[in-house]
Amino acid sequence: MPKALGMRCRECGEEYPIAPVHVCELCFGPLEVILNWEEIAPRVTRERIQQGPPSMWRYWDLLPVEGPPTVGRNVGFTPLVKAERLGRELGLNNLYIKNDAVNHPTLSFKDRVVACALTKAREFGYNTVACASTGNLANSVAAHAAEGGFRSYVFIPADLEQGKILGTLIYGTNVLTVSGCYDEVNRLCAEAQDRYGWAFVNINLRPFYGDGSKTFGYEIAEQLGWRAPDHVIVPCAGGSLISKIYKGLKELDRLGLLENGVPTRMYAAQATGCSPITTAIKTGAEVFRPQKPCTIARSIAIGNPADGYVAIDTVRKSGGWAEDVSDEEVIDGIRLLGRTEGIFTETAGGVTVAVTRKLAAQGRFNPDDTVVIAITGNGLKTQEVVLGKLGATFPIAPNLESLDAALRTERLLETVTA
Ligand SMILES: Cc1ncc(COP(=O)(O)O)c(C=O)c1O
Ligand SMILES: [Zn+2]
């Protein structure tokens, strides 16, 4: 029996056979994979998972692929770091960082979704893969296409950060830089998918892509000793990751693998300059209003999020909340995480840390609650945002006199003794 029985529309419930399609023909709602729980549940135990590989594929039973992983076999199982020093700054005694800034191989959580989507693309018989991306997905599709021997086409807004562009080109893919914002890139890609029939990981393969993110939630719970946290703060762009983390926790509970059920409240984090999801939540609006993005947090600058409704629904159902922060606060967030925990995150992580600080100041967490911040990308890819904002270096000659002289200056002595 297959693990995945079919797909179901999240809006109207219409069912479809497994195929590379992502929207309902009747109502345009997003499709989700239906797993064969009767067959899967009896065999999934904590022991079976723990005996699996140290990667996202230890949860193979719960992913919508039928064969073994063929692409991205080493993705996932990133560290869950107890953040003592950041916790002290925020008044939280049980604060954790789920650190996908060190995900293999392209340093963001997108490696999870791509490993799942390209393994499925191969099962569907595709040899050409593609994506519309704000940067991290581009890196990951290009890298995994190289690993898997796929032809690939990557579409990005032309004005992305250097690190994101070079970190895509390096893998020998075809990079199409589109003169427009992400939402225009995405619209073009939907048309290109119709014309060329490629496997667009976040368009026609979106249901399979999205489920790769469930592993972010599974890992958090396993790493907390099979407990779901009280709060998870997640950066939102298209709105998929936040709902899939929650779905992952709910699935582990359904399997009876969690100690404490799912008390988890989910929090959406966005930059104020692109905040359709957080604005809808904060104003209590039924529907989100698309925005024209204007923020340094480009990886999450999606003005018309494909899973925006799902993200809002997840936050509301879980009893969570949402906040957004200015670009200055994003940079403060990046610096705060670096200075307290020694983790260099990209702009999306700056958003998430700054939003967590804001939520903590609003009194949304009890000091002893277990709080997890989703750090989803690496700061080495967005260096230009902190350029000139991190204080000076101290140039010296290669001799002790020069070092002595430098240490005598007040500023450097302060730094050394701080
Ligand atoms: C670093 C980073 N974090 C978070 C997200 C948000 O993911 P989603 O589109 O699933 O909301 C993205 C999406 O591009 C991203 O690049
Ligand atoms: Zn429907």
Q: Closest-lying ligand to the alpha carbon of 28?
A: 2
Rounded CA-CA distance 60/43 in Å is 12
The alpha carbon of 318 and the centre of ligand 2 are apart by a number of angstroms equal to 23
Evaluate: CB of 238 within 6 angstroms of ligand 1.
Answer: yes
The one-digit pLDDT tens for each residue of the chain (418 residues) are 899 999 999 999 999 999 999 999 999 999 999 999 999 999 999 999 999 999 999 999 999 999 999 999 999 999 999 999 999 999 999 999 999 999 999 999 999 999 999 999 999 999 999 999 999 999 999 999 999 999 999 999 999 999 999 999 999 999 999 999 999 999 999 999 999 999 999 999 999 999 999 999 999 999 999 999 999 999 999 999 999 999 999 999 999 999 999 999 999 999 999 999 999 999 999 899 999 999 999 999 999 999 999 999 999 999 999 999 999 999 999 999 999 999 999 999 999 999 999 999 999 999 999 999 999 999 999 999 999 999 888 899 999 999 999 888 856 666 544 4
Q: Which amino acid is at 291?
A: Q
Query: Does residue 394 belong to any structural domain of this protein?
Result: no
Considering the domain architecture, whether residues 260 and 137 belong to the same structural domain is answered as no
Query: Does residue 411 belong to any structural domain of this protein?
Result: no
Specify the DSSP class assigned to residue 98: E
325 Cβ neighbours under 8 A, 6+ residues apart: 269, 271, 272, 333, 351, 354, 355, 358
Considering the domain architecture, whether residues 103 and 147 belong to the same structural domain is answered as no
Q: Are 40 and 13 in contact (CB under 8 A)?
A: no
Q: Are 217 and 247 in contact (CB under 8 A)?
A: yes
The alpha carbon of 238 and the centre of ligand 1 are apart by a number of angstroms equal to 7
Evaluate: CB of 237 within 6 angstroms of ligand 1.
Answer: yes
Evaluate: CB of 297 within 6 angstroms of ligand 1.
Answer: no
Considering the domain architecture, whether residues 92 and 51 belong to the same structural domain is answered as no
Strands (E) across 13-172 are located at 15-16, 31-35, 80-82, 94-99, 128-132, 151-157
For residue 105, cis peptide bond before it (omega within 30 degrees of 0): yes
**Which of 236, 245, 281, 373 to mutate for ligand 1's pocket (most ligand atoms within 8 Å of CB)?**
236
Mark out the alpha helices in 239-364 (DSSP H runs): 240-254, 276-283, 308-318, 327-341, 347-361
The range of the structural domain enclosing residue 362 comes to 80-107+213-385
Atom of ligand 1 nearest to the CA of 108: 1
Evaluate: CB of 95 within 6 angstroms of ligand 1.
Answer: no
Query: Does residue 398 belong to any structural domain of this protein?
Result: no
Considering the domain architecture, whether residues 327 and 205 belong to the same structural domain is answered as no
The alpha carbon of 339 and the centre of ligand 2 are apart by a number of angstroms equal to 47
> Ligand 1, atom 3: nearest CA belongs to which residue?
376
Residue 152's nearest CA partner among 161, 143, 160, 163 is 143
Place of tokens 């026609």: 204
Considering the domain architecture, whether residues 142 and 203 belong to the same structural domain is answered as yes
Give the Å distances, CA to CA, from 89 to 11, 325, 357.
Answer: 42, 18, 9
Q: What are phi and psi of 366, to 5 degrees?
A: -80, 150
Considering the domain architecture, whether residues 47 and 58 belong to the same structural domain is answered as yes
The strand pairing partners of 128, in sequence order, are 151
Evaluate: CB of 235 within 6 angstroms of ligand 1.
Answer: yes
Query: Does residue 418 belong to any structural domain of this protein?
Result: no
Rounded CA-CA distance 83/284 in Å is 32
Count of the separate structural domains present in the chain: 2
What CATH number did the domain enclosing 29 receive? 3.40.50.1100
Q: Closest-lying ligand to the alpha carbon of 112?
A: 1
Considering the domain architecture, whether residues 233 and 354 belong to the same structural domain is answered as yes
Place of tokens 């692109």: 274
Query: Does residue 196 belong to any structural domain of this protein?
Result: yes
Considering the domain architecture, whether residues 269 and 152 belong to the same structural domain is answered as no
Q: What are phi and psi of 132, to 5 degrees?
A: -100, 130
Instruction: Extract the tokens encoding 255.
Output: 């399997």
Rounded CA-CA distance 59/78 in Å is 14
The alpha carbon of 347 and the centre of ligand 2 are apart by a number of angstroms equal to 35
Considering the domain architecture, whether residues 249 and 156 belong to the same structural domain is answered as no
User: What is the reported pLDDT for 392?
Assistant: 84
Evaluate: CB of 376 within 6 angstroms of ligand 1.
Answer: yes
Handedness of CA 177, 182, 186, 188 (dihedral sign): negative
The H or E element spanning position 89 is helix 84-90
Q: What is the pTM of this model?
A: 0.96
